[in-house]
Amino acid sequence: MDKLLLRSSEFENYVLNVLSYPLYDNSQRVKVSRIMCSVSLEHAESFKILLASRNFTSAIGLLRLQFECLVRGMWILYVATDCAVSKLTAELNEKNQKRADNLPMLSEMIKRLEETAPKNAINPILEFKKYSWKPLSGYVHGGLHAVNRHSKGYPIEILEQALKASNGVNGMVAILGSILTGRQSLTKDVYNSFQTFSDCFQMRTNKNL
């Protein structure tokens, strides 16, 4: 696990570097999408901190938040109306908060992304949701997974699997972040990085997380 944590942190630093490139324009849509990438990466960093602290249930709960922020970032780029984007960039007050509460939930965002986003961008999202969403909801909402794992302990295989799943989300964040720069060469480099850091990923997220 220590070796995997170290390699995962190295990959996280690579993703952080991708997010440091200038955006291809200064539109609010592109800026907010980048912010969502950054928030997702923050959750990934916190996930590893909690994992190292042995706060396993809290760590896995963050994996769902990490994924949600990625999906929101993709939805903003490919689907959201200008009105929806304006709700996310408005001054934070009670009135604007109520307006933002009307934004779509994750399932609706993914549904719309299926209709609009490139297939190579949405397919990993669909795969993650298929195998991980229900178990992660159990951790977040105090369901069977949280009760069982917290009371009986976390097998090392489950923790490694969760860490690799988090790395997979970071990989999707890196792809989205590279697209936001408009640099095709950077997107190609991101895909090449998956081979370099192949030990950080799994072929498919196990549904028994």
Q: What is d(CA 63, CA 59) in angstroms, rounded to the nearest whole number? A: 7
Q: H-type helices in the chain, by residue range?
A: 2-18, 28-52, 56-78, 82-89, 94-100, 106-116, 119-140, 144-152, 156-179, 184-196
- pTM, whole model, 2 decimals? 0.90
The conformation of residue 26, written as its DSSP 8-state character, comes to: -
State which amino acid sits at residue 209. L
Predicted confidence at residue 97, as pLDDT, reads 75
Note the pLDDT of residue 112.
93
**How many Å apart are CA 127 and CA 72, to the nearest integer?**
16
- One digit per residue, the tens of pLDDT, for the chain of length 209 reads 889 999 999 999 999 999 999 999 999 999 999 999 999 999 999 999 999 999 999 999 999 999 999 999 999 999 988 888 888 877 777 776 767 667 788 899 999 999 988 888 899 999 988 888 878 887 787 787 878 888 888 899 999 999 999 999 999 999 999 999 999 999 999 999 999 999 999 865 444 56
What's the pLDDT score for residue 54?
Answer: 93
